[in-house]
Amino acid sequence: MASPILPGTGLGSGLDISSIVTALVNADKSAKQTQIDSATKTNTLKISGIASLKSALAAFQKTMTDLSASTSTAFAGYTATSGTATTLTATSDNTAVPGTYNVVVSSLATGSKVASASFAGGTSSAIPSGTLTISQNGTNYNVDIPANATLQSTRDLINSKLGSNGFSANIVTDSSGASRMVISSTTTGAGSDIKVSGISGLEIDGTQVMGSNPSATASGAVTALATDASLTVDGLKVTSKSNTVTGAISGLTLNLLSAGASTGNGTFAGASSTVTVANNTSGLQTSIQSFVDSYNTLMNTINTLSKATADADGNLTVSAAFTGDSLPRSLISDLRAQLTTTGAGGPLSVLSQLGVLTVAGNDASNSGNLSFDTATFTKAMATPGMSGQVQQLFNGTNSTNGLFSRLGTALNTYLGTPVGSSGVRTGGVLDARNTSLQSIAKDLTNQQAALDLRVANMTKTLTAKYNAMDLLVGQMKATATSITSFFTSLNAQKSSS
């Protein structure tokens, strides 16, 4: 016959010891485990919410950074276009004036390039130790040359020490194996010629041109001296030490790319381009719409992280990461305060003048969102000079009074302030909150470990006690069986006698 004893059943008592112990342990564990599970779920949801909110804030801030970048025309009040982009490009600021300008570029600004006398030993030629001094525009730049230096190691030192100052050195070796040190500078304009002194064999007077067929001992400027850029604007002559010309036309920056050339009959023709400045109405509308869309994306994320959702019965009982939390309300309040603050001055002071308004109605899903009335915007742009005012409203007249800078400061409270050029942020409200939540998560992990240990010990103790009881019951049953057998045998003997 099959054994009636099941796995976990006591041999002596026949009781399911495993089930009894599990039931007792679970009864003791249940309340604490429910508490830990609930707290862990809530805490994990909040940690995830912090990460989502940081990501949304960073995305909004990136949009503002892109729109306000100095290299971007996103919020330029005016657009400047060059008719011949290979000759020059043009950018404008909010002080530009609509109009057209004929620009003729005769020559580009050039930098200084100098060469030393030749070294017969090539790149491995020995260079005396000492201080090499490179002079330009009245400033001396020193490089310490150690003992046992070569022409090549000296070149490498110049590049590593003075590369950030715009200097670069190289070595040119001719067919005979003789080498010259060639030093050039990114600084342009007449008078920026390089002079080198301090080390024998490397003395160079960059104010003297070497010529097309220099002797081995000759040194100086290669080809020509540094020169200014030369151009005309509507026939008026302009010179510039840089190929980035500012101030020649109010509100415009011209970036010169190519100059004129000989016509082949002994005359020279400059490279010309017509620069047109116009109101940037369509570009500003697109940029404002991009700002509004990005802001609304942020608000939608905040609302999603804040409002409870419906359960299976349709009741709003399922909490989101920040349901009932004051943090989102504080954030929205801080951002709205910047949207309603007046700008840097002038006829355009608030966003509503451009048709940017808060969404009306009671739809919670759109709470805090913005709308953009393009009809109001178009009407506002009909006012002369308004394009420049839009740029001023968003970018400001200094680093603090533009809408973008004010919003950026508000966001830094939550994201943290960038430290140096690393981009790493410190001191933000969200990081502080995340640190606190991580500490809670660690504490909950410790609580779970402690509970698991308690459960293991309790299981071990109860199992040992019930096994001892089972053994005792088994022994008692064996005794009872023995006694019963004795009396049964005794009664049988009496009956037979």
User: Could you report the per-residue pLDDT of 91-126, keeping only the tens digit for each?
Assistant: 887 778 889 999 999 999 999 999 999 999 999 999
What would the 3-class secondary structure string for the chain be?
Answer: CCCCCCCCECCCCCCEHHHHHHHHHHHHHHHHHHHHHHHHHHHHHHHHHHHHHHHHHHHHHHHHHHHHCCCCCCCCCEEEEECCCCCEEEEECCCCCCEEEEEEEEECCCEEEEECCCECCHHHCEECCEEEEEEECCEEEEEEECCCEEHHHHHHHHHHHHHHHCEEEEEEECCCCCEEEEEEEEEECCCCCCEEECCCCCCEECCCECCCCCCCCCCEECCCCCCCEEEEECCEEEEECCCEEECCCCCEEEEECCCCEECCCCCEECEEEEEEEEECHHHHHHHHHHHHHHHHHHHHHHHHHHCCEECCCCCEEECCCCCCCHHHHHHHHHHHHHHHCCCCCCCCCCHHHHCEEECCCCCHHHCCCEEECHHHHHHHHCCCCHHHHHHHHHHCCCCCCCHHHHHHHHHHHHHCEECCCCCCEECCHHHHHHHHHHHHHHHHHHHHHHHHHHHHHHHHHHHHHHHHHHHHHHHHHHHHHHHHHHHHHHHHHHHHC
Between 314 and 133, name the one with better pLDDT: 133
Residue-level pLDDT at 4: 42
Distance CA 407, CA 396 (A): 12
Tokens of 131: 């201080």
Please count the other Cβ atoms lying within 10 Å of the Cβ belonging to residue 296. 18
By CB atoms closer than 10 A (0-12, 13-18, 19+), residue 362 is exposed
Residue-level pLDDT at 316: 66
390 and 77 in contact (C-beta within 8 Å)? Answer: yes
Residue with tokens 């003048």: 353
Residue-level pLDDT at 189: 96
Question: Domain spans of the chain?
Answer: 57-70+281-414, 78-108+228-279, 111-221
- The residue type found at 306 is S
- The residue type found at 178 is A
115 and 215 in contact (C-beta within 8 Å)? Answer: no
In the predicted structure, residue 31 carries a pLDDT above the cut 50: yes
* pLDDT band with cut points at 50, 70 and 90 for residue 420: low
Tokens of 459: 């299981």
Query: What pTM value is reported for the model?
Result: 0.67
104 and 292 in contact (C-beta within 8 Å)? Answer: no
Between 474 and 433, name the one with better pLDDT: 433
Four-CA torsion 384, 388, 394, 400, nearest 10 degrees: -120
Residue-level pLDDT at 22: 86
Between 495 and 143, name the one with better pLDDT: 143
- Model pLDDT for residues 55-100, shown as the tens digit of each residue: 999 999 999 999 988 766 688 888 899 999 999 999 887 778 889 9
* pLDDT band with cut points at 50, 70 and 90 for residue 196: very high
Name the β-bridge partners of 141.
134
* pLDDT band with cut points at 50, 70 and 90 for residue 497: low
Report how far apart the first and last C-alpha atoms of the chain are (Å, whole number): 37
| Residues 6 or more apart whose Cβ sits within 8 Å of residue 13 | 469, 470, 473, 474
* Nearest C-alpha neighbor of 105 from the set 299, 256, 240: 256
By CB atoms closer than 10 A (0-12, 13-18, 19+), residue 240 is buried
Query: How many residues in the chain?
Result: 497
Distance CA 167, CA 50 (A): 47
Residue-level pLDDT at 470: 73
Name the β-bridge partners of 168.
184
- Model pLDDT for residues 277-329, shown as the tens digit of each residue: 988 899 999 999 999 999 999 999 999 888 877 777 766 667 888 888 888 99
Average pLDDT, the chain: 87
Residue-level pLDDT at 3: 40
Tokens of 483: 């006694």
